[in-house]
A and B are shown apart, each in its own frame.
Chain A
């Protein structure tokens, strides 16, 4: 079935350093979503990417969708302690499968040392 691989699983950074997490698929994706889950919290939608090569920015966060629509990245510039949490990518299942849900990656857990 459809799977998305997220790397790295964990990332520890010093406050002010940059951070990037990657999401990779073996098949072409129709779109990709990113969610953030704070410690003790629930996943919260950040953004959706749809177009090949799309780049979107939210303040210090930059989201990219690969040209082949098989991978995506989330980059945080100059991390802050408020960025701590787990970042998930999520994709729609491939055609022929159950179409109403999303498939979530395992997530990248980010810790930031002040």
Chain B
């Protein structure tokens, strides 16, 4: 199994630009999570989906952030416009319903906004 795949692995952009992060969950997993990790705030849940439907987006910082899951094998997290305070590592994770709630994390995207 390839595991959770994220792209790009690194992104450097200028303030005001649009940023799109991509995630492919593990095949067959029906939950998908987007997290943001910074030194100051730790690991924060931004949004999660179940069967492609957003269930809880209360962690999305503001309207500049949006996430979609058009099908079971792909999700995007978009930031428009980006700001320097958005600099962080963004993780995507997936899991299978039922069972232990164990989450499988992707390698993350390190975003730097200058």
Please, how many residues of chain B have a CB less than 8 angstroms from a CB on the other chain?
A: 22
Given that A100-B48, A101-B33 are known contacts, is A43 also in contact with B101, CB under 8 Å in the complex? Answer: no
Q: Among residues 82 to 114 in chain B, which have CB atoms less than 8 Å away from a CB atom of chain A? A: 91, 93, 97, 100-108
Across the two chains, which residue of chain B brings its CB closest to A98? B56
Q: Among residues 15 to 45 in chain A, which have CB atoms less than 8 Å away from a CB atom of chain B? A: 31, 33, 41-45
Please, how many residues of chain A have a CB less than 8 angstroms from a CB on the other chain?
A: 19
Residues of B within 8 A of A48 (CB): 100-102
User: Which residue numbers of B lie inside 8 Å of A, CB to CB?
Assistant: 31, 33, 42-43, 45, 48, 50, 55-56, 58, 91, 93, 97, 100-108
Residues of A within 8 A of B101 (CB): 31, 33, 48, 92, 102
B55 close to A102 (CB less than 8 A) = no
Across the two chains, which residue of chain A brings its CB closest to B91? A42
Given that A48-B100, A92-B101 are known contacts, is A42 also in contact with B50, CB under 8 Å in the complex? Answer: no
User: Which residue numbers of A lie inside 8 Å of B, CB to CB?
Assistant: 31, 33, 41-45, 48, 88, 90, 92, 98, 100-104, 106-107
17 chain-A/chain-B pairs, Cβ below 8 angstroms: A33-B100, A41-B107, A42-B91, A42-B105, A43-B43, A43-B103, A43-B105, A45-B103, A45-B104, A90-B103, A98-B56, A100-B31, A100-B48, A101-B48, A102-B103, A106-B42, A107-B42
Across the two chains, which residue of chain A brings its CB closest to B45? A101
Given that A42-B91, A42-B106, A98-B55 are known contacts, is A104 also in contact with B100, CB under 8 Å in the complex? Answer: no
